Each structure stands twice: as C-alpha cells, then as structure tokens.
Structure 1
Amino acid sequence: MLETAPLNAAELAEYCRRKGLYPEQIAAWRAVCQAANANAAEQAREQRHQSKDDKKRIQQLEKELQRKEKALAEAAALLILRKKVQAIWGNNEDD
C-alpha cells in the first residue's frame, strides 16, 4: 500500500503489470486499510472514555473503602474498650 500511495494512474498501471495485480485490487486494499484505521481511531476514543470512567469508578471505590475502613477501625476500638471496661468492672448485665 505504501509503495502505491504516491503513484499516479499511469505509474499505478505499470506497477500492477509488474506485480501481476489489478488496480481494483489496490483500490480495495486501500479502502480496507482506511476503514481499519478509522475503526482503530474509534476504538481508541472509546478506550479513552472507558479509561476515564474506570478512573472515576476507582476513585469512588477507594473513597468508599476508606470510609468503611474508618468505620471498622472505630468499631474495633469500641469493642476493645468494651472488653477493657468489662475486665475492670466485671460483667454487669441488667437482667
């Protein structure tokens, strides 16, 4: 494809004769290459968008994880405090 890009119609015909090809084949291959490149650009755009969404989701999950870890640490501290109080004063159940 790169060899034929700068050629004019007469040069392309000569090139095709030398290589045993038809100009229509070259045109078809060029169209396929252009379509593939256009599709690649679309995929790259979608990947950038998906990447941005993924980063946003990761930030949300990290924030939620941090909040839950803080709550868990607080609950653990309260549990330890409760055990210490029970050890000092004994188990006072108001039954």
Structure 2
Amino acid sequence: MPADHPGGQRRRIEVTGGDPAGDGAGPLGVRALPAAGGFVASTAGQSVTQPDAALDAIRWGFGLLPAAAMLAALLLQRRYTLDRAARAGD
C-alpha cells in the first residue's frame, strides 16, 4: 500500500463531458448577450454608437453573470468532501 494515501487506495477522477460543454458555453454566452442587447458591429475606421441595452448586456456578461456563476459553484462545492467518514454520515 502506498504510504502517501490513506488506506493505500489511489483514486483517479476523469471528467469527460462537463469540461468541454462548459468551455463552449462561456464564449457563447459572451457573444449572445451583447447581440441580445442590440450590439452594433462596425468595421475599422467606422464609428458607431452602441445602444444602452448593448452596453448593459456587456456589463452583465463580463461582471455580474460570472460572479453569480462563481457564487453558485462555491455553494454547490461547500458540502463536497473527500473524507470518507464525513460522507458516511450523509
């Protein structure tokens, strides 16, 4: 038994579905929010005025929504433990 692991057991966790889905959902959301707010695209040298709704959507997409997602992740992970004794009580 390896001395560096309790009980001599080594465990490997593989995440196969959630990571790629999460990696794709972030950029999709960042692009979708300004579009939903009426973002106006421009070309080099062209000046456009963005509607207030598009600016608000950008603020939400880069500030409040990521913070809310992080808070939700922290709340979900609060009860997670690797301690076998603690899990046995649940």
TM-score surpassing 0.5? no
Larger radius of gyration: 1
More helix as a share of residues:
1
TM-score normalised over the length of structure 2? 0.36
TM-score normalised over the length of structure 1? 0.35
More relative contact order, 1 or 2 (CA 8 Å, 6+ apart): 2
